Amino acid sequence: MNHDQLHDFARRYTAAWCSQNPKSVASFFAPDGSLAINGGPPSIGRTAITADARSFMTAFPDLEVSMDRLHIDGDRIEYHWTLKGTTNGNKVNISGFALWLLNAEGFIQTSLGHFDAADYQRQVSAKHE
């Protein structure tokens, strides 16, 4: 994909996260693609990735993901994002990024996500009024 196509792909991926349709997120991954977050075990395949997306969408019924920027350096793609939402009465606002490797067909083969887990945990565990 060229630069413009990659930006369009990332915009559509962002919209999928906001859609409350977890299968839509998984459709951006190769059938045997993987999603790992903060060095944890990867979810492999669209069924597992759908389950991961569903867990976020369930936890955050008002989930809003925005693309902060896309950095492309050869075949290294960094997708920077911000997640906003409310879970158990707690407002969460966290940013992170994913390193993508796309396959020849233009699907995400590998996504390695990173965010500040301690800050996330602090926000989801905060006492609310």
Question: What pLDDT score was predicted for residue 74?
Answer: 81
Indicate the CATH number for domain 3-124.
3.10.450.50
The structure's pTM equals: 0.92
pLDDT tens for each residue of 51-71:
999 999 999 999 999 999 999
Question: What pLDDT score was predicted for residue 127?
Answer: 73
Cα–Cα distance measured from residue 5 to residue 11, given in angstroms and rounded to the nearest whole number: 10
How is the chain split into domains, by residue range? 3-124
- 83 backbone dihedrals φ, ψ, rounded to 5°: -110, 130
Q: Give the distance, in angstroms, between the CA of residue 10 and the centroid of all CA atoms in the same chain.
A: 10
Whether the pLDDT of residue 129 is over 70: the answer is no
